Amino acid sequence: MCVLLDMYEERGIEKGIAQGEARGIAKGISQGISQGIEEINALYQCLLADNRMEDIQKAIMDTDYQKELLQEYGIGE
């Protein structure tokens, strides 16, 4: 009987760990998305303040250029 209880306990622990990992991953993804949005908004605020409208248009279409601008302004480092 103890072996059966141990087996159920082990399965419960494994299930709890898996659920905890899934929640942690989901929370990490959500935080990453929020951080990315904040960084892009900060970039566009800087570009607007510097009257760099063409750069905003280009950054919207070209993610590599967007990354260059983020580096230029020191955002997200």
Residue 77 domain-assigned (yes or no): no
Mean pLDDT on 5-25: 82
Q: What's the CA gap between 56 and 71, in Å, rounded?
A: 15
Q: Please tell me what DSSP assigns to residue 12.
A: H
pLDDT at position 16:
83
Domain enclosing residue 17, as ranges: 2-72
Count of structural domains within the chain: 1
At residue 46's C-alpha, the angle toward residues 44 and 48, to 5°, is 65
pLDDT tens-digit readout, 20-71:
888 898 999 999 999 999 999 999 999 999 999 999 999 999 999 999 999 9
Q: What's the CA gap between 10 and 23, in Å, rounded?
A: 20
